Amino acid sequence: MGDGRRERFEALFAASYQKVLVYALRRAPRDQAEDVVAETFTIAWRRLDVVPDDPIVWLYATARRVLANTRRATRRRDQLLQRLSAGLPPVPLQEPDPSDRVNETVLMRQALERLGVNDREVLMLIAWEGLTNAQAASVIGVSSQVFALRLHRARRRLTEQVAHLSESGEGRGEGVDELQEGGEG
């Protein structure tokens, strides 16, 4: 392996590791996110010749696919565990502590959790990762026009969820503006 290849990868890693880790942490628990990042950079090393000079969109797209694979594996594992434990009584789910719902961050997270995976992804790419519509469209592999439509629909559904949570008293109705105003480019 040439020194130029190693130097390029080290520079890519140093410049992008934190962003990819934050991307993964916003979508998965820490231990899973760290594995996703490790796998993403392993793929980047193997495919370094196709990684663009501005790599962050490529890395996000790769991390997104790794996360999807991880979710599928988790779902298969959970289904297997369900089949194996079919004869056991179900474990009751614990309700979240109401005191955890005191600020708009919690409200937004609750509203996001009620959305589908695809809606969450388009909103998070814009609001949390700070990508433009074109960059985010590239991450998920659709045209800018299709992405803009998905973003519009996801924002509408998020607004509906926030309103529902606010009306039901489960949270506060602030914080939607950030997601509605950001990322129009």
Do residue 80 and residue 114 come from a single domain?
no
pLDDT tens for 44-62 read 999 999 999 999 999 999 9
172 by Cβ neighbours in 10 Å (0-12 / 13-18 / 19+) ranks as middle
What whole-number distance in Å separates Cα of residue 77 and Cα of residue 41?
A: 25
Average pLDDT of the segment spanning 149-167: 89
User: Is residue 63 within 8 Å of residue 36, measured between CB atoms?
Assistant: yes
Residue type, 24: A
User: Is residue 179 within 8 Å of residue 158, measured between CB atoms?
Assistant: yes
Do residue 122 and residue 170 come from a single domain?
yes
Query: Which of 31-45, 65-79, 95-109, 112-126 is most confident?
Result: 31-45
Do residue 48 and residue 116 come from a single domain?
no
User: Is residue 103 within 8 Å of residue 23, measured between CB atoms?
Assistant: no
Question: 136 is in which domain, residue-wise?
Answer: 99-181
Do residue 106 and residue 172 come from a single domain?
yes
pLDDT tens for 79-99 read 877 776 665 555 555 665 555
Average pLDDT of the segment spanning 156-185: 64
Establish if 18 belongs to a structural domain. Answer: yes
Average pLDDT of the segment spanning 165-183: 55
The runs of H, that is alpha helices, within the chain are 3-25, 30-46, 56-84, 104-114, 117-127, 133-140, 144-168, 176-181
Average pLDDT of the segment spanning 158-170: 82
183 by Cβ neighbours in 10 Å (0-12 / 13-18 / 19+) ranks as buried
Do residue 77 and residue 18 come from a single domain?
yes
What whole-number distance in Å separates Cα of residue 38 and Cα of residue 63?
A: 9
Q: What global pTM score does this model have?
A: 0.59
Q: Is the pLDDT of residue 184 over 50?
A: no
Instruction: Give the CATH number, domain containing residue 46.
Output: 1.10.1740.10
Smallest CA-to-CA distance from 33 within 45, 44, 23, 19 is with: 23
